[in-house]
Amino acid sequence: VAPSPRRPVPPSTPAAPVAPSPLDYLGFVGDYIQPDDALGVFVPSYLRDEPQAREELAELQGAVRYVDAAIGRVLAALQSAGLEENTLVLFTTDHGVALPRAKCAVYDPGLATALILRLPARDWTSGRRFAEPISNVDVFPTLLDLVGLPVNPRVQGRSFLPLLDGREYRPRDCVFGEMTYHDHYDPRRCIRTRTHKLIVNFAAARSFMDPTQSWRPRTAPAVPAAPELEYHPVVELYDLVADPNEWHDVAEQPGYAAIRRELLTRLHDWMRATDDPLLRGAVTSPLHHWAVEALESAGKQ
């Protein structure tokens, strides 16, 4: 289960324990969330296992515990009201957790999101896990399917209701991912199959965007060793069977030329089908438009 991927502002009241200034870093704790290392601290393989990383991840685990307790209160309220059996509870997030090489990236830790559904009336309860790849764009058509409403052909995604109900289901053979803006312009598009990930980068940005919103980040990626000196290649390709951490880019290796060509073609087809603006040029930021408006409005005064 993933918590909200965002970081709360640190406590600043005089009665609060000594806390870092927002100018130093933002953590995962606040006035109502405390670190949790009661069962140890899990450091994902894509991060360096360092003391300051363990400190930050303990905070993340505290946030997970808080979210888990909040969900428990929702479920208890439904049960108390007699609504548990026929109420769909759906928990998901929009991107990976706010750690390096996760949020603000299209590597797997950034694409992987929580998706938990519970509907006792259809036997959607605990103890069932699915390995089939699902995209968040599949959630909307699944909900329409569940309540018996037609799905407009223009709606992206596909219903995975048959999978949840234990009926015949043809799983996706790939998912697509994208990012354009966050802290800065860094447009990236990707295609992920069960065995490979191909990423296309559209700007001369660093290897990945730091999502910690911190002047002095406490958590560092395992790869690259010096992220401040690494920049995007145009194309990245990873063999997820041999390299599940996506540490070794094989895009330029001759042995992967065929899979590179195939995935580039499929990604291009998807971008055309979704009318991706990047195919027509760089995406202009809202700030650019506001700057032009400020210039023009000053001249009219």
Predicted local distance difference test score (pLDDT) of residue 211: 85
Residue type, 260: R
Q: What is the pLDDT of residues 57-78, one digit of tens each?
A: 999 999 899 999 999 999 999 9
Predicted local distance difference test score (pLDDT) of residue 301: 75
Distance (Å) of CA 140 to CA 52, 136, 147, 156, 227: 39, 8, 11, 9, 37
Predicted local distance difference test score (pLDDT) of residue 184: 86
Round to whole Å and give the CA distance between 43 and 208: 19
Predicted local distance difference test score (pLDDT) of residue 210: 85
Q: How far apart are the two ends of the chain, measured CA to CA in Å?
A: 55
Nearest alpha carbon to residue 219 among 35, 73, 27? 27
Please give the DSSP secondary-structure letter assigned to residue 159: -
pTM score over 0.85: yes
How large is the C-alpha radius of gyration of the chain?
22
**Residue ranges in the chain modelled with pLDDT below 70:** 1-25
Predicted local distance difference test score (pLDDT) of residue 10: 55
Q: What is the pLDDT of residues 108-147, one digit of tens each?
A: 999 999 999 999 999 999 889 999 999 999 999 999 999 9
DSSP string computed for 73-132 = HHHHHHHHTT-STT--EEEE-SS--SSTTBTBS-SHHHH---EEEEBGGGTB-TT----S
